[in-house]
Amino acid sequence: DYSKLRMNVNKATKDVISVEAFAKDGSRYKLSIDNLSPNKSFAAGHFTFNKADYPGYYIEDLRE
């Protein structure tokens, strides 16, 4: 559970520089973005997970 998120944005370019998450237990997590490539094209199946690529691994589908 998180209490808040802080997003840092470059005023000139409006690019996201970093995102910091504050957890309710006091933990903090920071994601820094060093290189951003907007409007990049990907092949149709680029983000499709294929179980056949991981023989011998147990795959648990958590979407349900």
pLDDT digits (tens, 9 = 90+) for 13-42: 999 999 999 999 999 999 999 998 889 999
Q: State which residues form the domain around 16.
A: 1-35
Residue 21 in domain: yes
pLDDT digits (tens, 9 = 90+) for 51-61: 999 999 999 99
Please choose, from the candidates 27, 34, 32, 38, the residue with its C-alpha nearest in 3D space to the C-alpha of residue 4.
27
Residue 54 in domain: no
Residue 17 in domain: yes
Residue 25 in domain: yes
Residue 58 in domain: no
Residue 22 in domain: yes
Residue 13 in domain: yes
DSSP symbol at 34 = S
Tokens read off for 23: 């957890």
Domain count, the chain: 1
